[in-house]
Structure 1
């Protein structure tokens, strides 16, 4: 993924401070699991619905083939970065 460990740590710390995730002790002391909080799960579903509505509005004038081509292009772009 080309992301430095300190960047991930800062991001997780920020998500934890905002109540999105919590750290849970893993099987041994070297392992920490990052899990979504119950509040975050509920908020995530709401955000997901909002994003899906926004996506539908943005792509409403696209044909099926245009949507398919756009998705293919975006996935290709993401996979090459």
Structure 2
């Protein structure tokens, strides 16, 4: 699993549907907790959290992987 796979797996925490926490945990289990927390709070959440902040979230089943990765990379560049 590469870092982009981690981002994509963590993005499922921000969909407007039933979240399969066990599946996500299994997918990301190769990473240590510090790495997971860092990428969740600094890379994934800033991009994905707007979905669950909306009155009617637009993403129910999952984010588009390509767009998600592009948005995270763009957000990282804006921070630096």
Q: Give the alignment's TM-score, normalised by structure 1.
A: 0.33
**Does 1 or 2 have the higher relative contact order (CA < 8 Å, sep 6+)?**
2
Q: Name the structure with the higher strand share.
A: 1
Q: Name the structure with the higher helix share.
A: 2
Q: Give the alignment's TM-score, normalised by structure 2.
A: 0.34
